[in-house]
């Protein structure tokens, strides 16, 4: 039944062997490159880097252009159509399972994630279509991130489905959208080589391991080392220079416009044109706000600032264990809107170690900055689930996988506190969820931080703690120039139970310090590396990782530029 639904919806993806049949025919006649038609050569060049080549060629079966831009646009449009059909399939499953509360919630979340995918693939098409390759360089990081987001949203959908039969059904019913998304992402990531095969040579930054940083990240003279995508005005807000005029004031004592953060957000109705949206500044006065807050995807450029971490506190205790909640539903603060900023406040989840997954801050949005904040919890405290995210001068605490996600995140100059969990637990600071590999913009960098135990853990020599474990097949985490407390197990990293990701992950350490910084007893995984070359290490910093730019000379971060 599932197969019939998908075939009828997007047969364009499944007519194997029809598209570009001339390629096979020509190869049967001798296979000489010069005998290929211009059309066949163009399609082969576009599809060469893709994971699902037959799906790629089939998606171009009706294309007549030999121009790379038109062919790539066609691929993207077919991807969009596949996502529309995946969304319809999920809706149909929702109708069938509407009486079952747990399945209904899971499918509603899937539907939401597929909506996000559709929004981002359309934005990708619009951005790609409005540029020629000569000026695409300035937009390249953004379109690569958009396609990564489309991938992550689909992964997030599947991650929240617990019932095996339903999960298998959704996997099957949305598999063509997943394959097309994978192919489009492969094409974007390898765009330099593709264009070169067409005789077009542009210096687009596509693969961080192949292309050194080529553009600036920072403006001259900025002392706070924010990424360039943080505007000058936002840097002033975050650095505290100049008067901040809030659009909304939240105060429990009634001295503001609103008594709850939810009410302040409900009053924010941004215009539809994304490019004209201004920042929405919410000043949250000192107090303990027992709320579960969501910044929706259409609520761009929200800025929360408080009276100080530990003074302005947003708190909740939602958790997975013993409830019908999924991890994505437990966030004290959940951010879907692009351009989120936060300063001088605390986000916490007080469910405790017995609550299992219990998120304090979930950011599923691009271009987010969290500065001078506390993020406290136990398991799954900080969920960096998509987009480019930058955390600086923060305190982050937890037990199991407490910094985890599928975004591209950098945590810099921060204090990471490992807490004592329940007896028998093992602590893991990180759990990255890169399921796609180097072509996706996913991974975590911890730079110039301190990783220390809380006092209760420091007194318990039996409880083991590790830097992380690979949540997904291509988990990517780099810990560099960071002080590692002696409580970290000498092996450093531990495997994900029941997996064999040790050979495919990318875990690296560079120039760390402290009692646990010695790497001679680290795990002997194919996927683990000790970086010794500062030129290589430079690739794993704020510059190339979350924007593709360089650091400015004079940064306070101690690494060799």
- Distance, in Å, from the CA atom of 134 to the CA atom of 111, rounded to the nearest integer, reads 37
Q: How many other C-beta atoms can be found within 10 angstroms of the C-beta atom of residue 215? A: 16
Q: What is the DSSP letter of 503?
A: G
The Cα diameter of the chain in Å comes to: 83
The sign of the torsion formed by the CA atoms of 330, 333, 337, 339 equals negative
Q: How far is CA 179 from CA 14, 56, 261, in A?
A: 11, 9, 40
Q: Give the Å distances, CA to CA, from 369 to 176, 179, 335, 416, 517.
A: 34, 32, 12, 17, 28
380 carries an active-site annotation: yes
Query: Which distant-in-sequence residues (6+ apart) come within 8 Å of 433 by Cβ?
Result: 155, 159, 404, 405, 406, 442, 471, 472, 475
Q: How far is residue 553's CA from residue 561's CA, in Å, rounded to a whole number?
A: 7
Entry field: residues in the chain: 561
Which residues, in sequence order, are bridge partners of residue 528?
Answer: 507
Q: Where are the alpha helices (DSSP H) in 441-516?
A: 455-458
What is d(CA 115, CA 84) in angstroms, rounded to the nearest whole number? 9
Catalytic status, residue 460 = no
Which helix (H) or strand (E) element contains residue 374?
A: strand 374-376
Nearest residue to 443 (alpha-carbon basis) of 542, 362, 356, 371:
542
Distance CA 61, CA 38 (A): 14
Choose, from 401, 432, 460, 489, the residue flagged as catalytic: 401
Q: What are phi and psi of 124, to 5 degrees?
A: -60, -50
Q: Which of 148, 108, 8, 61 is nearest to 437 (CA)?
A: 148
DSSP 379-439: TT-EEEEESEEEEES-EEEESEEEEEESSEEEEES-EEEEPP-STT--EEEEEE---S-TT
Separation between Cα atoms, residue 141 and residue 229, nearest integer Å: 11
Cα–Cα dist 377/400, whole Å? 10
Q: Among the options 380, 423, 460, 489, which is catalytic?
A: 380
Strands 302-306 and 374-376: unpaired
Catalytic (active-site) positions: 380, 401
């Amino acid at each position: 039944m599932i197969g019939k639904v998908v075939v009828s919806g997007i047969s364009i993806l499944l007519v194997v062997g029809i598209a570009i049949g001339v390629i096979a025919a020509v190869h049967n006649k001798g296979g000489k490159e010069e005998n290929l038609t211009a059309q066949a050569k163009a399609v082969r060049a576009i599809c060469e880097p893709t994971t699902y080549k037959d799906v790629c060629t089939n998606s171009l079966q009706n294309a007549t252009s030999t121009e790379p831009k038109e062919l790539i646009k066609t691929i993207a449009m077919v991807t969009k159509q596949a996502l529309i059909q995946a969304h319809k399939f999920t809706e149909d499953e929702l109708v069938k399972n509407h009486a079952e509360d747990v399945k209904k919630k899971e499918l509603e979340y899937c539907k939401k994630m597929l909506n996000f995918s559709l929004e981002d693939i359309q934005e990708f098409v619009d951005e790609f279509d409005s540029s020629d390759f000569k000026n695409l360089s300035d937009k390249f990081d953004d379109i690569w991130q958009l396609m990564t987001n489309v991938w992550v949203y689909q992964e997030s959908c599947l991650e929240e489905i617990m019932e095996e039969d339903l999960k298998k059904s959704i996997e099957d019913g949305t598999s063509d959208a997943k394959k097309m998304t994978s192919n489009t992402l492969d094409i974007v990531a390898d765009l330099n080589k593709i264009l070169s095969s067409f005789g077009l040579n542009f210096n687009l930054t596509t693969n961080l391991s192949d292309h050194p940083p080529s553009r600036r990240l920072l403006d001259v003279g900025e002392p706070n080392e924010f990424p360039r995508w943080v505007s000058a005005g936002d840097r002033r807000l975050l650095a505290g220079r100049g008067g901040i005029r809030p659009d909304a004031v939240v105060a429990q004592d009634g001295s503001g416009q609103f008594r709850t953060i939810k009410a302040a957000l409900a009053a924010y109705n941004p215009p539809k044109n994304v490019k004209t949206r201004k920042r929405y500044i919410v000043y949250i006065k000192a107090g303990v706000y027992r709320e579960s807050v969501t910044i929706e995807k259409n609520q761009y450029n929200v800025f929360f600032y408080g009276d100080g971490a530990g003074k302005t506190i947003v708190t909740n205790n939602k958790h997975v264990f013993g409830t019908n909640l999924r991890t994505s539903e437990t966030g004290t603060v959940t951010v879907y809107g692009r351009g989120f900023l936060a300063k001088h406040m605390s986000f916490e989840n007080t469910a405790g170690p017995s609550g299992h997954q219990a998120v304090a801050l979930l950011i599923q949005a691009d271009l987010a900055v969290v500065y001078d904040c506390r993020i406290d919890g136990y398991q799954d405290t900080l969920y960096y689930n998509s987009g480019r995210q930058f955390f600086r001068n923060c305190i982050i605490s937890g037990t199991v996988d407490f910094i985890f996600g599928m975004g591209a995140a950098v945590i810099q100059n921060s204090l990471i506190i490992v807490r004592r969990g329940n007896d028998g637990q093992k602590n893991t600071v990180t759990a990255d969820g890169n399921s796609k590999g180097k072509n996706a913009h996913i991974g975590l960098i911890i730079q110039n931080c301190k990783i220390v135990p809380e006092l209760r853990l420091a007194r318990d020599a039996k409880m083991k703690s590790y830097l992380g474990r690979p949540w997904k097949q291509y988990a990517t985490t780099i810990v560099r120039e960071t002080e590692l407390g002696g409580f970290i197990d000498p092996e450093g990293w531990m495997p994900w139970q029941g997996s064999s990701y040790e050979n495919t992950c990318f875990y690296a350490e560079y120039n760390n310090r402290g009692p646990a910084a010695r790497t001679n007893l680290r795990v002997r995984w194919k996927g683990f590396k000790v970086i010794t070359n500062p030129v290589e290490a430079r690739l794993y910093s704020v510059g190339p990782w979350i924007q593709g730019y360089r650091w400015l000379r004079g940064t306070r971060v101690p690494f060799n530029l």
